[in-house]
Amino acid sequence: MTARYAVFGHPVVHSLSPRIHAAFGTQLGIAMQYAAIDAAPGDFANALGAFAASGGLGANVTLPHKERALALCTEASDRARRAGAANTLSRLNGQWHGDNTDGAGLVHDLTERRRLDLRGRRVLMLGAGGAARGVSPALLDAGIGELWVVNRTAERADALADALGEPGRVHTRYWADLGNLGAFDMIVNATSAGRSGGIELPFSLAGNRSLAVDLSYGEAAVSFMAWASAAGCEHRFDGIGMLVEQAAESFALWHGKRPDTDPVFASLSARADSLQTAD
Ligand code: ATR
Query: What does CATH list as the number for 103-240?
Result: 3.40.50.720
Structural domain spans, the chain: 3-101+243-260, 103-240
Residues 170-187 have a mean pLDDT of 98
Residue type, 180: N
Let me know if the fold of 3-101+243-260 is the same as that of 103-240. yes
Does the annotation place 154 within a ligand binding site?
yes
User: What are the E-state strand segments in 29-113?
Assistant: 32-38, 56-61, 75-76, 88-92, 95-99
Q: What's the DSSP call for residue 180?
A: G
Question: What per-residue confidence (pLDDT) applies to 274?
Answer: 57
Q: Is 15 annotated as a binding residue?
A: yes
Q: pLDDT tens digits, residue range 3-16?
A: 999 999 999 999 99
Give the C-alpha separation, 196 to 84, whole Å.
25
pTM of the predicted protein model: 0.95
Q: For residue 129, report the distance from its CA to the centre of ligand 1, in Å.
A: 6
Domain 3-101+243-260 top-level CATH class:
alpha beta
- Best residue among 65, 152, 189 to mutate for probing ligand 1, ranked by most atoms within 8 Å of CB: 152
Q: State how far the alpha carbon of 55 is from the alpha carbons of 44, 75, 135, 229, 257, in Å.
A: 17, 19, 31, 47, 21
pLDDT band at 221 (very low <50, low <70, confident <90, very high): very high
Question: What is the average per-residue pLDDT within 130-159?
Answer: 97
* Protein residue closest via CA to atom 29 of ligand 1: 152
CA triple 39-239-228, angle to 5 deg: 135
The pLDDT of residue 208 is: 84
pLDDT given at position 278: 39
